[in-house]
């Protein structure tokens, strides 16, 4: 299985998003580079609205992710509840 | 298909015809295994230039900054013209010995290994 | 969530495909005249999916927020005189190159997507191209704003757009986009959305921008990451384009593969500029070009092509010939030795930087590249800083000076040629030669700067007049070595260094 990845700007909101990702994707790898955080996982990665809201303590629209997103790799599927990344092979 | 175009039988304008160089032709010259010079040089020259003029006047401008330039033994230097072994005739015009527009001349000096022996 | 609120999927459907209309008095074919000539077969445009399901209302909302954040940082940067906080004035030269080489490509992408979007019969594709077109315009504007601050303090920023159209080394990025924009709409999408955005631009906007942050340049890292947040959407569009084309008809597979082969190679050669910026122009280095290639191409691209294998798509053809071990060194040497003709400053790497390069390129740097810098140091010490005298031979396809070496011999330049209709053409590599062979009628038109100078089309008669009058460089200020430059003198004055 190949790795999917997501890179976020290293800022205050991303900190909580990363916490949510860590909780929902056991085994995920977090790499800190200057000004950015890179998150990698084997095969799939999911960002759940509910978990992010819990960490942030406020409503959060999945599309708000775009404000902090730098780049990603994998097939994207997004709806009101989550954004997921996956490779089929 | 020479091009994938929406216009039928599309033909491109050749930008670098010799006629566009005001009587000159282009000749490229490269010194193999001497990478102080990042690429071969391009020289616009009258086709009647002799090989001696090319070697002793034109090439000096491009290559003489090299510490090994003065050590070249031209009698044992090997030449390639457009990839084929070539024996230059010093007092014959370039065009009369097959060095035509956009020809590439390479010369090889196997006894000279470049600065610090590193092909520089 | 309130029951009367539409969910994302319904909203996207209503705001995209239901916007389309049927043509009552004109044939559909005439409305979309560019759709068929490339040979791509589309049977059902409604199968087009935008995985982000971004509608125009949400697009404006989030883009406006991105802009607010970005401009707040630009203001803070300017008010704080943050140009003084960059590591070292050498760094600024990477930004000069960015403004003249990359930002105009954002503008070309804006034009390209506006044109291409118009040509598609499917409304989902049209909306996606429209958003991307607006994004690209935003990118060029924010980049100009960010870098205009540096224009107040450093040389070489004055005439970037004019230079992009004329300067010899800038014909490399310019001709890359000219090639894509003069292709049909499907090739343009495979070239830019997929091969460039998905497979390659991460290498520019992620590790290089992280490097900008590491060198104290908050303005650049911010516009870079803000642009790249749009790129995440563009990349997703790129992958969608490929999957859509491959699922529409099996006859599309070989066409798409051919374009991937071509545009991967064009992109890899072009990005040697970024490799040089990372390895030589960033005083504080995040990772080497070779490492970045490993993470962002080999690893990420490997996963991507494995995923696409089910459609019969394989890795790009010339992937084994990309010389990540050598390209950055060979290109910086070229710029250094042509430093009298560049719109930015060049320099010999410091001893510490050379040690870093040996560590990152243990098999090759000391053997092939350190000796060149030893020669340059020796010549400089003798008061004879090396500037090459004659003009270089250029590759007909990528337009880069023919500076790359043979894949199996780093001591020998790679020469390829072909004769077409009685004219000889030269190439730096198998990839560039094969691209010419596919469409010679296109590339016989290459506007090669060295040849144009010799044809008298760039002013003159001497190189000095070409540089100053035709290119618009301020000679003695914009060009030459960083040592002794006005940039360096001002910097030392600001920093109180004698």
Angle between helix axes C218-248 and C207-214 (nearest 10 degrees) is 170
Read off the pLDDT band of C425 (50, 70, 90). Answer: very high
> Is C189 touching A (CB cutoff 8 A)?
no
CA distances from residue C288 to C24, C171, C273, C361 in whole angstroms, order as listed: 58, 26, 13, 9
Domain locations in chain B? 29-117
Are the C-beta atoms of C188 and C180 separated by less than 8 Å? yes
The SS3 call for residue C361 is coil
Q: Do C368 and B118 touch (CB under 8 A)?
A: yes
Q: In the predicted model, what is the mean pLDDT of residues C189-201?
A: 90
B59: enclosing H helix or E strand:
helix B59-63
Read off the pLDDT band of C1 (50, 70, 90). Answer: very low
Residue B1's pLDDT is 66
- Strand spans (E) along C31-76: none
Q: Which residues of A touch C206 (CB under 8 A)?
A: 7, 36, 70-71
Neighbours of chain C (3+ CB pairs under 8 A): A, B
> What residues 8-47 of chain A have any CB closer than 8 A to a CB of chain C?
9, 33-36
B14 has pLDDT over 70: yes
* CATH class given for the domain over B29-117: alpha beta
Query: DSSP alpha helices (H): ranges in C385-485?
Result: 430-438, 440-443, 449-454, 463-465
Mean pLDDT for chain C? Answer: 94
Instruction: Give the Cα-Cα-Cα angle C482, C487, C492 (nearest 5 degrees).
Output: 95
Q: What is the pLDDT of residues C383-424, one digit of tens each?
A: 999 999 999 999 999 999 999 999 999 999 999 999 999 999
Are the C-beta atoms of C240 and C304 separated by less than 8 Å? no
Q: Which CATH architecture has domain A3-86?
A: Alpha-Beta Complex (3.90)
Residue B106's pLDDT is 98
Q: Options 1.10.10.10, 3.30.70.790, 1.10.620.20, 3.60.15.10; which CATH number does C38-347+386-494 get?
A: 1.10.620.20
Q: Which residue has the higher pLDDT, C457 or C235?
A: C457
> Is C225 touching A (CB cutoff 8 A)?
yes
% of chain B with per-residue pLDDT over 90: 96
Q: What is the pLDDT of residues B51-78, one digit of tens each?
A: 999 999 999 999 999 999 999 999 999 9
Are the C-beta atoms of C424 and C347 separated by less than 8 Å? no
Residue of chain B minimizing CA distance to C259? B4
Residue C498's pLDDT is 65
Q: Give the least confident one: C116-120, C207-211, C351-355, C361-365.
A: C207-211
Using alpha carbons, select from A44, A2, C456 the residue that is nearest to residue B20. Answer: C456
Read off the pLDDT band of B46 (50, 70, 90). Answer: very high
C328 has pLDDT over 60: yes
Are the C-beta atoms of C311 and C246 separated by less than 8 Å? yes
Q: Which residue has the higher pLDDT, C442 or C210?
A: C442
Q: What is the ipTM, given to two decimal places?
A: 0.98
CA distances from residue C441 to A50, C179, C290 in whole angstroms, order as listed: 57, 12, 35
Q: Do B12 and C450 touch (CB under 8 A)?
A: no
Distance from CA of C487 to the nearest CA of A (A): 27
Q: Which residues of B touch C338 (CB under 8 A)?
A: 38
Q: In the predicted model, what is the mean pLDDT of residues C39-61?
A: 89
Please state whether beta strands B25-31 and B103-108 pair in parallel, antiparallel, or not at all (unpaired). Answer: parallel
Q: What is the pLDDT of residues C152-185, one digit of tens each?
A: 999 999 999 999 999 999 999 999 999 999 999 9
> Is B68 touching C (CB cutoff 8 A)?
no
Neighbours of C453 (CB within 10 A): 21
B83 phi and psi angles, rounded to 5 deg = 90, -10
In residues, how long is chain A? 89
Give the Cα separation of C248 and C125 in Å (integer): 14
Distance from CA of B92 to the nearest CA of C (A): 22
Read off the pLDDT band of C2 (50, 70, 90). Answer: very low
Residue C226's pLDDT is 85
Residue A25's pLDDT is 98
Are the C-beta atoms of A17 and A68 separated by less than 8 Å? yes
- Residue pairs between chains B and C whose CB atoms are closer than 8 Å: 158
Q: Which residues of C touch A72 (CB under 8 A)?
A: 232, 235-236
Distance from CA of C497 to the nearest CA of B (A): 34
Choose from B99-103, C4-8, C303-307 the range with maximum mean pLDDT: B99-103
Distance from CA of A87 to the nearest CA of C (A): 6
Residue A89's pLDDT is 72
A74 phi and psi angles, rounded to 5 deg = 135, 165
% of chain C with per-residue pLDDT over 70: 99
> What residues 326-355 of chain C have any CB closer than 8 A to a CB of chain A?
none
Q: Which residues of B touch C340 (CB under 8 A)?
A: none
Domain locations in chain C? 38-347+386-494
Read off the pLDDT band of C204 (50, 70, 90). Answer: confident
Q: Which residues of C touch B43 (CB under 8 A)?
A: 390
Q: Do C54 and A7 touch (CB under 8 A)?
A: no
- From the candidates C337, C338, C390, C426, which should be mutated to test the interface with B, based on the most B CB atoms within 10 A? C390
Q: Whose structure tokens read 């935003």?
A: C138
Q: What is the pLDDT of residues A13-69, one digit of tens each?
A: 999 999 999 999 999 999 998 889 999 999 999 999 999 999 999 999 999 999 999
Residue C203's pLDDT is 85
Domain locations in chain A? 3-86
C190 has pLDDT over 90: yes
Q: In the predicted model, what is the mean pLDDT of residues B41-54?
A: 98
Using alpha carbons, select from C392, C400, C391, C455 the residue that is nearest to residue C427. Answer: C400
Give the Cα separation of C71 and B88 in Å (integer): 65
């Amino acid at each position: 299985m190949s790795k999917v990845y997501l890179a976020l700007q290293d800022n205050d909101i991303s900190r909580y998003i990363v916490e949510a990702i860590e909780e929902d994707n056991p085994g995920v790898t977090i790499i800190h580079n200057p000004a950015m955080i890179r998150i990698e996982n084997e095969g799939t990665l999911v960002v759940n609205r509910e978990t992010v809201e819990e960490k942030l303590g406020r409503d959060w629209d999945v599309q708000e992710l775009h404000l902090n997103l730098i780049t990603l790799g994998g097939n994207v599927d997004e709806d009101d509840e989550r954004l997921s990344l996956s490779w089929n092979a | 298909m020479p091009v994938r175009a929406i216009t039928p039988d599309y033909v491109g304008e050749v930008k670098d015809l010799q006629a566009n160089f005001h009587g000159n032709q282009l000749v490229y010259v490269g010194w193999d295994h001497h990478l102080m010079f990042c690429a071969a040089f391009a020289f616009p020259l009258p086709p009647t230039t002799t090989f001696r003029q090319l070697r002793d006047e034109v090439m000096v401008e491009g290559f003489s900054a090299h510490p090994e330039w003065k050590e070249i033994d031209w009698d044992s230097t090997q030449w390639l013209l457009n990839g084929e072994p070539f024996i230059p005739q010093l007092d014959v015009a370039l065009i009369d010995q097959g060095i035509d527009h956009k020809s590439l001349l390479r010369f090889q000096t196997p006894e000279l290994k470049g600065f610090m022996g590193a092909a520089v | 969530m309130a029951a009367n609120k539409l969910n994302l999927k319904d909203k996207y459907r209503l705001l995209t495909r239901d916007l389309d209309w049927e043509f009552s008095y004109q044939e559909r074919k005439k409305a979309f005249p560019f759709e068929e000539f490339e040979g791509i077969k589309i049977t059902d445009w409604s199968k087009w999916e935008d995985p982000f399901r971004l509608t125009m209302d949400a697009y404006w909302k989030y883009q406006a927020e991105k802009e607010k954040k970005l401009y707040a940082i630009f203001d803070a940067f300017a008010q704080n005189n943050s140009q003084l906080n960059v590591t070292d004035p050498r760094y600024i030269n990477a930004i000069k190159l960015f403004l003249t080489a990359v930002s105009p490509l954002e503008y070309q992408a804006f034009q390209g997507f506006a044109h291409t979007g118009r040509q598609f019969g499917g409304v989902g594709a049209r909306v996606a191209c429209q958003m991307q077109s607006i994004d690209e315009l935003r990118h060029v504007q924010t980049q100009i704003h960010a870098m205009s601050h540096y224009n107040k303090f450093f040389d070489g920023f004055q005439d970037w757009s004019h230079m992009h159209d004329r300067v010899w080394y800038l014909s490399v990025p310019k001709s890359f986009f000219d090639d894509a924009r003069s292709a049909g709409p499907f090739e343009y999408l495979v070239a830019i959305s997929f091969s460039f955005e998905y497979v390659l631009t991460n290498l520019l906007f992620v590790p290089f921008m992280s490097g900008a942050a590491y060198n104290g340049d908050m303005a650049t890292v911010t516009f870079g990451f803000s642009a790249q947040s749009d790129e995440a959407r563009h990349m997703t569009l790129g992958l969608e384009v490929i999957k859509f084309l491959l699922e529409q008809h099996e006859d599309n597979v070989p066409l798409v593969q051919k374009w991937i082969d071509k545009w991967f190679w064009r992109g890899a050669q072009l990005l040697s500029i970024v490799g040089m910026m990372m390895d030589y122009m960033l005083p504080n280095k995040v990772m080497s070009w070779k490492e970045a290639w490993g993470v962002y191409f080999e690893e990420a691209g490997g996963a991507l092509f494995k995923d696409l294998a089910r459609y019969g798509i394989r890795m790009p053809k010339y992937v084994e010939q990309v010389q990540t071990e050598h390209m950055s060194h060979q290109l910086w040497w070229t710029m250094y030795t042509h430093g009298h003709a560049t719109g930015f400053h060049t320099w010999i790497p410091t001893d510490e930087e050379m040690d870093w390069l040996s560590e990152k390129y243990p098999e090759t740097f000391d053997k092939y590249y350190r000796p060149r810098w030893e020669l340059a140091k020796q010549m400089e010490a003798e008061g004879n800083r090396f500037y090459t005298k004659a003009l270089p031979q250029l590759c007909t396809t990528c337009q880069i000076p023919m500076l790359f070496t043979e894949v199996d011999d780093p001591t020998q330049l790679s020469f390829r040629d072909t004769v077409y209709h009685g004219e000889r053409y030269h190439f730096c590599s198998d990839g560039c030669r094969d691209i010419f062979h596919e469409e010679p009628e296109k590339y016989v038109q290459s506007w090669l700067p060295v040849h144009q100078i010799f044809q008298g089309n760039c002013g003159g008669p001497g190189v000095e007049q070409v540089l100053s009058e035709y290119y618009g460089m301020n000679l003695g200020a914009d060009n030459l070595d960083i040592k002794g430059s006005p940039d360096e003198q001002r910097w030392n004055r600001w920093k109180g260094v004698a």
